[in-house]
Amino acid sequence: MPGARDQGAARARWLGIGLLGLFLLPVSLSLEVSVGKATTIYAVNGTEILLPCTFSSCFGFENLHFWWSYNSSDTYKILIDGTVKNEKLDPKVKLKDDDRITLEGSTKEKMNNISISLKNLEFSDTGKYTCHVKNPKENDFQHQATIFLQVVDKLEEVDNTVTLIILGVVGGVIGLLIFILLVKKFIAFIIKKTQEKKKECLVSSSGNDNTENGLPGSKAEEKAPTKV
């Protein structure tokens, strides 16, 4: 029947999509490379800068291949190329383009660090630095992360006046709110105590009125002593 065939085809498509998702899920959750939260870093000409890079893999790694590349408007080159044999051994450099570059990497404490430092910075070092990682244990799956380096003559001081003013205003508002809450609690406490005293006065006054009016339990009810 045509309806049964259509349902069978639809189920086959959904099954195929599901199997594809199961295949891609481990890949999407496997190799990760990070250069930190900052996408741009600034450094002064003539100084030294650390370009961070770490990697992680859910499946582990063996003979992992990594390299750093530099890219500017008119230049592309491989700065450093190396491998990490396994999780117990530190990274090793196979190729280095510039003597100013030093591998700062280590796999100790599962840091998987393949950062590099660049000494004696020049203005021409400004550009994009990309950390690449390829893991043979994951069918040579590759991942990378990029950070932009800006070499400047001097670092400009950041004016924090506006920030300090905002923080002061926010702190003042918070302090005022706390003060208002404390005052409200104090006033509520005074009102409560005043109401309790009024209740006590009313009860005492009611007892005195009963005594004067000769109500049961009052002094007026007491009989005079019998004369003999």
Query: How many whole angstroms separate alpha carbon 197 and alpha carbon 190?
Result: 11
Using the Cα atoms of residue 7, residue 8, residue 11 and residue 13 in order, give the sign of their dihedral.
Answer: negative
Tens-digit pLDDT profile for residues 190-202 = 888 787 776 766 6
Question: Is 53 exposed, middle or buried, given 0-12, 13-18 or 19+ CB atoms closer than 10 A?
Answer: buried
pLDDT band at 25 (very low <50, low <70, confident <90, very high): very low
Query: How much is the pLDDT for 21?
Result: 42
- Which residue's entry shows tokens 């009989």? 223
Angle at 43 between CA 96 and CA 129, to 5 degrees: 40
Average pLDDT, the chain: 80
Tens-digit pLDDT profile for residues 71-109 = 998 899 999 999 999 888 899 999 998 899 999 988 877
Q: Which residues, 6+ apart, have CB-to-CB distance to 50 below 8 Å?
A: 104, 115, 116, 117
pTM to 2 decimal places: 0.58
Contact, 85 vs 72, CB < 8 A? no
Query: How many whole angstroms separate alpha carbon 33 and alpha carbon 56?
Result: 7
Name the 3-class secondary structure at 78.
strand
Q: What b/e string do you get for 167-176 counting C-beta neighbours within 10 Å, with b at 16 or more?
A: eeeeeeeeee
Average pLDDT over residues 167-171: 85
Average pLDDT over residues 197-213: 61
Q: Which of 68, 40, 200, 207 is nearest to 130 (CA)?
A: 68
Query: How many whole angstroms separate alpha carbon 43 and alpha carbon 123?
Result: 10
Q: What b/e string do you get for 193-211 counting C-beta neighbours within 10 Å, with b at 16 or more?
A: eeeeeeeeeeeeeeeeeee
Torsions phi, psi of 59, nearest 5?
Answer: -100, 5
Query: How many whole angstroms separate alpha carbon 51 and alpha carbon 162?
Result: 31
Per-residue pLDDT at 31 exceeds 60: yes
Highest mean pLDDT among 1-5, 11-15, 140-144: 140-144
Contact, 45 vs 64, CB < 8 A? no
Average pLDDT over residues 134-153: 93
- CB atoms closer than 10 angstroms to residue 217: 10
Query: How much is the pLDDT for 196?
Result: 75
